[in-house]
C-alpha cells in the first residue's frame, strides 16, 4: 500500500515537474492532457475548451491578421489583441495631425470605429485527423515529388468535401513533419474595425529597450470589433454591417492570479522546431543568427538615430524599426539561450543514445542507420549557401530602394512582352502610380541612403565572394571600396528615391520607357540580386528542403519509436494550440531572483521624460498618485501590470488569451523572457516564461485612463 502511494505521488510529481513544455492540439486534449491539467488545478474540462457539439472556448479565439491571436470578449464581437498586433493598422490611421500611435485612439461610439482594409480574423470551425485519407496511395518507394502530388490530390478532395455548401474555407496541414495530417475548417471575417488603442507610452512602454525582457511594464493591448452582415455572416466592409454576435465570448476575471496558479494559453503559435538534429540547431545559433543580427544592428542604429531627431521619421519608421528590432533581439536571446542550455550538446548526447538504439537492431539499422550521417552531410554542404542567402536577404535585399525599384519589374516584363497590349501596360503603370504616395508616406531618402552605404560595406567586405552576384564584385572594384560614393551615385541617379521623380516618370509612361528602368542603378542591383537568387541559391535551397523534409519526417517517426512512453506534441505550424503551465518567477542569472509579477510602481521607477520609451502618460501618473485603481486593484493594494508563467509559447501567440483554472480571461499573452527565447528550438523549464498583460491593467487603462467605460460595460466581469 505504502509503495503504491509513493509511486502515485512520485508519478504525479514527475508529471508536474515537466509541465510547461508543449503546444497541444485542442482535439487531443482529453486524451493526452486533461488529467495532468486537472492535477495542476484546472476546474473545467477538455470539452469546455474544445467541442464541436456545442460552443466552447475555442469559439472565442481567433487568428488575428496573418500572425497574431485575438479573443472575443463581448456579445457584440469586441476583440482584444496586442498593441503590437494592431500596430500596423493603428499606424495607417496616423498622421502628424492625428497621431494615434503616439496619442492613442478611442472610438466614442460604434460609428467612430475605423475600418481596416486587408485585416481579417479567422475562427476555427473544427479540426479532424485525416491522415489515412491524405496518405492514401502513398508508398514508401515514392520520390518526394510523387508523394507530394498524391497528397495534394487527396487533400483537394478532402477540402472540397468539407466546405461543400458553406462559406467556410478549409485546408489540410501536416503535423509531426508530415507523419500526421489534419483538416482545418475555418470561417474568416473581413470587416474588422479599430475600436481603441492606448497611447504608445502605455501600449509600447519600454519600447524595444524592454522588448523580450522581464521585468516588463508594457500595456500591450488594442481593441477591435468584428462586423458581420445582417445575417451575422462574414462580409467585406460596408457601412450597413453590424457588430458580430459570437457563438462564445470570454468571461473576464478580476481576481488576478497567484504564484503557482494553473494557467493556459489558447492561440496560434507560428513555428517551432523542437525535433531537429544538433547540426540544424548549430546552423541557426552559430551561422544564421550572428549574420542577421549584425546586419540588422546596422540598420537599427541608423533608423533609431533619425527617429530620435525627427518626429516625422518617427512616425514613418516606428513600425519598420519595431519589426527589425524584434527579430534582431529574439535572435540574440536565442543564440545565447542555446549556448547556456548546452542545447547542441544535449542534442548530440541524444543522438548518441539514439544511434546505439538503432544499431542494436538490424531492422532499425536498415531504416534509420543512415539518417544522422545523411543529415550531417546535407547540412555541412548547405551551411555556406545558407550563409550567402542570409547575407543577401538581411543585407542588400533589406534596403528599401532596392525592394521598391524591383516592384517595377513586372512593368518592365510586360512592356517588352509583345503579346501584352498597350492598354494593359498603361493600366499597370497607372496602378503603380496610384501606390506611389502610400509608399513615400513612410519613406525617408536620407535614412535609406545611409543604410545603403553601411549595408553594402558590410556585405561586400564580409560575405563570401564564392556566392556573391557578380555585380557586387564589379561595383566594389569600381568604387574602390568607397561605399559613400556608391550610395551617392545610386541615390542621385535613381528614379525611385522620391515621389516626384517616380510620379513624373509614371505619368508619362509608355512601354519604350522600360529602358529607363533597366538602366536605373537601384533596379539593376535588385534585378541582378533576385536573378542570382533564382538561378543559383533558390535551387540549392529547394533541394536542401526537399532532402531535409523527408529526413525530418523519418527522424520524427524514429524519435517517437525510440521514446515510446514520451508524449510528443507537434511543432507549431500556425494552427490552434493550447499551452499550459504555472504562474512562476525564475532565476535568470546567478544571484538574481525574478518575481512573477510587475506593477505600476515599476512604471514610475522606470520613468524618464528624456527617453521616448520611458515617458509616463500624465493621466496614468495622476491615477497612480491618487491610487485611483477602482475594482482593478490587486488584493495587495498595487496595480499589477504583467505576470509570467511557464506556458510554452512562440511568435503568433501574441494576443492569445491567458485563462485561469475556470477558463476565465486573466491576461493577454504578448512576449517571452529573453533567457528563454530558445524555446522554439529547445524548451527549458527553468528559464522559459511567457509574459502576459494582467487583464485588470488592460481594463484599468480602458476605463480610467481612456474613459472608454462603454467598452467595459459590454464585458462580463467576474469579481
Q: Which is nearer to ligand ASP, 83 or 314 (CB)?
A: 83
Name the residue nearer to ligand ASP (CB basis): 575 or 653. 653
Residue 322 partner contact from ligand ARG, ligand ASP, none using kind-dependent CB cut-offs of 5 to 8 Å: ligand ARG
> Which residue lies nearer to ligand ASP by CB, 86 or 277?
86
- CB-nearer residue toward ligand ASP: 24 or 389: 24
Contact yes or no for 35/24 (Cβ under 8 A): no
Kindly write out the interface string for residues 169-208 of this chain, putting x where it contacts ligand ARG by CB under 6 A and - elsewhere: --------------------------------------xx
Query: In degrees, to the nearest 5, what angle opens at C-alpha 14 toward C-alphas 13 and 17?
Result: 90
Annotated catalytic residue 220? yes
The per-residue b/e assignment along 497-509, b for 16 or more CB within 10 angstroms, e otherwise, is: beeeebbebbeeb
Residue selected from 58, 84, 216, 577 as contacting ligand ARG according to rule CB under 6 A: 84
State the binding partner of 652 from ligand ASP, ligand ARG, none, CB within 5 to 8 A by kind: ligand ASP
Binding partner at 599 among ligand ARG, ligand ASP, none, C-beta below 5 to 8 Å by kind: none
Binders of ligand ARG among residues 420 to 459 (CB under 6 A) are: none
Task: Give the up-direction half-sphere exposure of residue 200: CA atoms within 13 A in the CB hemisphere.
Answer: 22
CB of 372 to ligand ASP, least distance (A): 30
CA dihedral (543, 529, 281, 568) positive or negative: negative
| Residue whose CB is less far from ligand ASP, 66 or 481 | 66
9, exposed or middle or buried, with CB in 10 Å at 0-12, 13-18, 19+?
Answer: exposed
Minimum CB–partner distance for residue 691 and ligand ASP (Å): 8
**By the criterion CB under 6 A, which residues form the site for ligand ASP?**
649-654, 670-672
Closest to ligand ARG by CB, 532 vs 670, is: 670
**Shortest separation between residue 649's beta carbon and ligand ASP, angstroms:** 5
Q: Which of 671, 675, 680, 703 binds ligand ARG (CB under 6 A)?
A: 671
Known catalytic residue: 423? no
> Is the Cβ–Cβ distance between 293 and 328 less than 8 Å?
yes
**348 contacts: CB under 8 Å, gap ≥ 6:** 278
Distance of closest approach, residue 585 Cβ to ligand ASP, in angstroms: 18
| Binding partner selected for residue 211 from ligand ARG, ligand ASP, none, CB under the kind-specific 5 to 8 Å limit | ligand ARG
**Contact set for ligand ARG, span 625-664 (CB under 6 A):** 651, 654
User: How does DSSP assign 56-115, residue by residue?
Assistant: -GGGGEEEETTTEEEEE-STT-EEEE-HHHHHHHHHHT--SSS-HHHH-EE-SSGGGPEE
Closest to ligand ARG by CB, 414 vs 692, is: 692
Cβ neighbour number for residue 613 with a 10 Å cutoff: 17
Q: Which does 653 bind (CB under 5 to 8 A by kind): ligand ASP, ligand ARG, none?
A: ligand ASP
Counting contacts by CB under 6 A, is residue 217 touching ligand ARG?
A: no
C-alpha 680/C-alpha 273 separation (Å) is 6
CB of 326 to ligand ARG, least distance (A): 4
How many residues belong to the chain? 719
d(CA 634, CA 632): 7
- According to DSSP, the β-strands at 717-718 and 252-253 are parallel
Would you call 644 helix, strand, or coil by DSSP? strand
The residue ranges of DSSP E strands in 590-710, in sequence order, are 592-594, 597-599, 640-645, 657-659, 665-672, 690-694
The minimum distance between CB 680 and ligand ASP, in angstroms, equals 8
- CB closer to ligand ARG, 143 vs 271: 271
Q: Give catalytic status of residue 694 as yes or no.
A: no
Per partner kind, with CB cut-offs from 5 to 8 A, the member of ligand ARG, ligand ASP, none near residue 277 is none
SS3 319: helix
- Annotated catalytic residue, options 51, 56, 654, 656: 654
DSSP structure class, residue 572 = P
Nearest to residue 250, comparing CAs of 81, 55, 57, 48?
A: 57
Residues marked active site are found at 84, 220, 654
Binding site for ligand ARG (CB under 6 A): 84, 207-208, 211-212, 322, 325-326, 651, 654, 671
Amino acid at each position: 500500500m505504502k509503495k503504491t502511494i509513493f509511486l502515485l505521488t512520485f508519478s504525479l510529481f514527475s508529471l508536474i515537474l515537466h509541465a510547461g513544455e508543449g503546444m497541444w492540439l485542442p482535439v487531443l486534449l482529453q486524451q493526452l492532457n486533461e488529467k495532468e491539467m486537472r492535477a495542476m488545478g484546472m476546474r473545467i474540462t477538455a470539452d469546455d475548451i474544445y467541442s464541436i457539439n456545442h460552443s466552447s472556448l475555442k469559439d472565442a479565439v481567433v487568428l488575428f491578421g496573418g500572425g497574431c491571436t485575438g479573443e472575443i470578449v463581448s456579445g457584440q464581437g469586441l476583440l482584444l489583441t496586442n498593441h503590437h498586433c494592431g500596430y500596423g493598422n493603428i499606424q495607417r490611421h496616423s498622421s502628424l495631425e492625428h497621431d494615434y500611435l503616439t496619442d492613442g485612439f478611442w472610438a466614442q461610439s460604434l460609428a467612430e470605429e475605423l475600418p481596416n482594409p486587408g485585416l481579417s480574423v479567422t475562427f476555427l470551425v473544427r479540426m479532424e485527423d485525416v491522415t489515412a485519407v491524405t496518405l492514401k496511395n502513398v508508398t514508401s518507394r515514392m520520390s518526394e515529388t510523387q508523394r507530394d502530388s498524391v497528397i495534394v490530390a487527396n487533400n483537394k478532395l478532402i477540402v472540397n468535401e468539407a466546405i461543400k455548401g458553406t462559406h467556410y474555407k478549409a485546408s489540410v496541414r501536416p503535423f509531426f513533419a508530415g507523419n500526421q495530417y489534419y483538416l482545418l475548417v475555418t470561417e474568416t471575417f473581413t470587416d474588422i474595425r479599430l475600436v481603441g488603442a492606448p497611447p504608445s507610452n502605455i501600449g509600447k512602454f519600454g519600447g524595444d529597450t524592454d522588448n523580450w525582457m522581464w521585468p516588463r511594464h508594457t500595456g500591450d493591448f488594442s481593441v477591435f470589433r468584428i462586423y458581420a452582415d445582417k445575417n451575422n455572416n462574414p462580409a467585406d466592409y460596408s457601412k450597413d454591417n453590424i457588430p458580430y454576435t459570437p457563438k462564445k465570448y470570454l468571461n473576464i476575471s478580476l481576481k488576478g492570479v497567484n504564484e503557482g496558479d494553473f494557467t493556459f494559453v489558447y492561440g496560434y503559435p507560428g513555428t517551432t522546431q523542437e525535433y531537429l538534429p544538433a547540426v540544424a540547431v548549430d546552423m541557426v545559433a552559430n551561422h544564421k543568427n550572428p549574420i542577421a543580427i549584425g546586419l540588422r544592428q546596422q540598420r537599427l542604429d541608423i533608423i533609431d538615430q533619425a527617429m530620435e531627431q525627427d518626429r516625422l521619421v518617427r512616425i514613418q519608421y516606428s513600425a519598420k524599426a519595431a519589426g527589425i528590432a524584434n527579430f534582431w533581439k529574439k535572435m540574440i536571446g536565442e543564440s545565447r539561450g542555446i549556448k547556456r542550455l548546452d542545447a547542441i550538446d544535449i542534442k548530440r548526447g541524444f543522438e548518441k543514445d539514439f544511434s546505439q538504439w538503432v544499431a542494436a537492431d538490424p531492422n532499425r539499422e536498415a531504416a534509420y542507420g543512415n539518417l544522422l550521417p545523411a543529415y550531417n552531410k546535407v547540412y555541412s554542404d548547405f551551411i555556406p549557401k545558407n550563409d550567402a542567402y542570409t547575407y543577401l536577404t538581411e543585407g542588400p535585399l533589406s534596403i528599401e530602394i532596392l525592394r521598391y525599384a524591383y516592384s517595377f519589374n513586372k512593368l518592365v516584363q510586360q512592356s517588352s512582352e509583345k503579346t501584352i497590349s498597350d492598354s494593359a501596360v498603361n493600366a499597370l503603370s497607372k496602378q503603380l502610380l496610384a501606390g506611389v504616395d502610400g509608399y513615400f508616406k513612410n519613406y525617408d531618402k536620407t535614412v535609406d541612403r545611409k543604410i545603403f552605404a553601411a549595408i553594402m560595406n558590410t556585405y561586400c567586405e564580409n560575405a563570401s565572394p564564392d556566392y556573391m552576384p557578380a555585380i557586387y564584385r564589379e561595383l566594389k572594384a569600381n568604387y574602390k571600396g568607397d561605399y559613400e560614393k556608391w550610395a551617392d551615385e545610386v541615390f542621385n541617379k535613381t528614379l525611385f528615391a522620391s515621389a516626384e521623380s517616380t510620379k513624373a516618370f509614371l505619368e508619362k509612361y509608355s512601354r519604350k520607357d522600360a529602358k529607363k528602368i533597366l538602366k536605373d542603378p537601384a533596379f539593376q542591383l535588385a534585378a541582378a540580386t533576385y536573378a542570382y537568387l533564382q538561378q543559383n541559391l533558390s535551387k540549392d535551397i529547394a533541394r536542401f528542403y526537399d532532402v531535409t523534409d523527408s529526413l525530418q519526417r523519418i527522424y520524427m517517426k524514429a524519435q517517437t519509436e525510440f521514446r515510446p512512453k514520451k508524449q510528443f506534441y507537434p511543432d507549431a505550424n500556425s494552427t490552434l494550440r493550447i499551452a499550459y503551465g504555472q504562474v512562476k518567477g525564475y532565476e535568470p542569472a546567478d544571484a538574481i531572483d525574478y518575481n512573477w509579477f510587475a506593477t505600476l510602481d515599476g512604471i514610475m521607477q522606470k520613468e524618464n521624460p528624456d527617453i521616448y520609451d520611458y515617458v509616463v502618460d500624465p493621466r496614468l501618473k495622476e491615477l497612480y498618485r491618487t491610487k485611483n485603481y477602482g475594482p482593478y486593484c490587486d488584493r495587495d493594494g498595487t496595480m499589477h501590470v504583467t505576470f509570467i508563467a511557464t506556458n510554452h509559447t512562440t511568435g503568433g501567440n501574441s494576443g492569445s488569451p491567458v485563462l485561469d483554472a475556470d477558463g476565465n480571461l486573466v491576461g493577454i499573452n504578448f512576449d517571452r523572457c529573453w533567457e528563454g527565447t530558445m524555446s522554439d528550438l529547445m524548451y527549458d523549464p527553468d528559464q522559459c516564461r511567457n509574459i502576459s498583460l494582467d487583464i485588470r491593467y488592460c481594463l484599468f487603462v480602458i476605463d480610467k485612463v481612456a474613459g472608454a467605460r462603454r467598452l467595459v460595460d459590454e464585458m462580463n466581469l467576474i469579481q
